[in-house]
Amino acid sequence: MANLTLVQAINLALIQEMEDDDRVIILGEDVGPNGGVFRVTEGLHQRFGSDRVVDTPLAESGIIGSAIGLAMAGLRPIPEIQFEGFLGPAFDQICTHAARMRTRTRGALTVPLTIRVPVGGGIHAPELHSDSPESFYAHQPGLKVVMPASPYDAKGLLISAIRDPDPVIYFEPKRIYRAFREEVPEDEYTIPIGKARVVSEGDDITIVSWGASVVQCMKAIEASDRSIELIDLRTIYPLDIETIEASVKKTGRVVVVHEAPLTAGFGAEIAARVMEHCFLYLEAPVQRVTGFDTIMPYYKLELEYLPEAERIATAIDHVAAY
């Protein structure tokens, strides 16, 4: 066991999977000698060499498109997109090829690909370094979308993603890359894709969240004297409705928290599923505490945009009083 940050936990998972399986290779911008702009791939180039840790030309469509080819040829590529704001050029390859290859070839060709992407706001970064585009990808059938909120989950989920036979987008909430440490076992272990985690148990209200927002939810819960159950989704798609359902049937009140904008954010999907699965158990309308339906502002206003603990606390009170 070691006490690791989220960055270190990912780094450890990468090392172990690369040691175990020489089909695993890393490609992206600055992932080589520089170790990635967040140092997630620190030391890997020195350890595994430039055939397995590859600095590519600056082209996201190129990175993902060629990773699709590598994957179809039987490798297990882990492309990195430097920031979520630069997924744009890769969107085409992700949605028009990675997501569809298995079904359009009826399984003849598959794309076991893990796309690592730092995500989210809160670090005072420049424009397009703070967005939360997870629902674009959750909306695209054929992809799996995960986002760990703790070092322990980060390692286990990444190993699952790398071993998964289908394309996985692995979002790394950069605000908590180094925000806290956690005991992370040295041995390899997996966290199943599609399984949420109950962070804290409670009877009055269920909060569903993911990524860095989980930490804000924990703060709001600490400040509240209500009994609140917090669910960290960990995987956005496929959605673990069972864990949510069990909790909501107990509490009857739900708050969903995410950084992405409200409209067509993944919170909308959760609210709809809760309606379908728990309608007769609900005591209040499902509440969503999210980014506004605006462009993510530059950093002077980013904390006003993000669903910080205070706004979550207000929603907790409102939903409780309904």
Partner 1 sequence: MPLKKAFTTTIDNVSILDEHGSFDAKLGAPGGKPIIPDDDLVKLYEHMCLCRKYDEVAFKLQRSGRMGTYPENRGQEATSLGAAYALNGDDWLVPCYRENAGLFWRGLPLEFVLLHWMGDERGNAIPEGMCITPLAIPIGTQMLHATGLAWASKYRNEKRLACTFFGDGATSEGDFHEAANFAANLDIPVIFFCQNNGWAISVPTKIQCSAPTIAQRGIAYGMDSIQCDGNDIFAVVYCMKEAAKRARENNRPTFIEAVTYRLGDHTTADDARRYRDAKEVEKWNNRDPMIRLRNYLVQRKLWDDAKQEAAVARAKEAVTAAVKRAEEIASPKTADIFNSMYAELPDDLVIQRETMMTHSLGQHPEELPPTSTQQRTHQQA
Ligand X SMILES: Cc1ncc(C[n+]2csc(CCOP(=O)(O)OP(=O)(O)O)c2C)c(N)n1
DSSP label of 321: H
Establish whether 129 is a catalytic residue: yes
Alpha helices, DSSP H, located in the chain? 6-20, 44-48, 60-72, 88-93, 101-104, 134-138, 151-163, 213-222, 241-251, 266-278, 302-305, 309-321
Closer residue to ligand X (CB): 128 or 320: 128
User: Cβ of residue 32: shortest distance to partner 1, in angstroms?
Assistant: 7
Q: Which stretch binds partner 1 (CB under 8 A): 7-15, 70-78, 225-233, 284-292?
A: 284-292
Choose the binding region for ligand X from 81-89, 219-227, 283-291, 304-312 (rule: CB under 6 A). Answer: 81-89
| Dist CA 100 CA 174 (whole Å) | 29
Torsion of CA 272, 273, 278, 284, to 10 degrees: -30
- The interface region with partner 1, picked from 2-10, 85-93, 155-163, 237-245 by CB under 8 A, is 85-93
Nearer to ligand X, 60 or 269 (CB): 60
How far apart CA 37 and CA 41 sit, in angstroms, is 9
> Which of 2, 58, 275, 303 touches ligand X (CB under 6 A)?
58
DSSP string of 229-289?
A: EEEE-SEEES--HHHHHHHHHHH--EEEEEEEESTTSHHHHHHHHHHHHHGGG-SS--EEE
- Of positions 23, 86, 95, 284, contacts ligand X by CB under 6 A: 86
- The residues near 148 (Cβ < 8 Å, ≥ 6 apart) are 6, 154, 157, 158, 172, 173, 191, 234
Write the interaction track for partner 1 spanning residues 261-280; mark x where CB under 8 A is met and - where it is not: -xx-----------------
- Does residue 126 touch partner 1 according to CB under 8 A? yes
Least CB distance from residue 102 to partner 1, whole Å?
Answer: 25
Q: Does 109 bind ligand X (CB under 6 A)?
A: no
What one-letter code names the amino acid at 248? Answer: V
Whichever of 239 and 309 has its CB closer to partner 1, that residue is 309
Shortest distance in whole angstroms from residue 61 CB to ligand X: 10
Q: Select from 41, 82, 93, 251 the one that contacts ligand X (CB under 6 A).
A: 82
Q: Which of 129, 139, 277, 318 is an active site residue?
A: 129
Residues 6 or more apart whose Cβ sits within 8 Å of residue 31: 41, 44, 45, 53, 54, 55, 80
What distance in Å separates the CA atoms of residue 303 and residue 291, rounded to the nearest whole number? 10
Q: Which does 57 bind (CB under 5 to 8 A by kind): ligand X, partner 1, none?
A: partner 1
Work out whether 177 is an interface residue with partner 1 (CB under 8 A). no
29 touching ligand X, by CB under 6 A = yes
Active site positions, annotated: 129
Contacts with ligand X, residue ranges (CB under 6 A): 29, 58, 60, 82, 86, 89
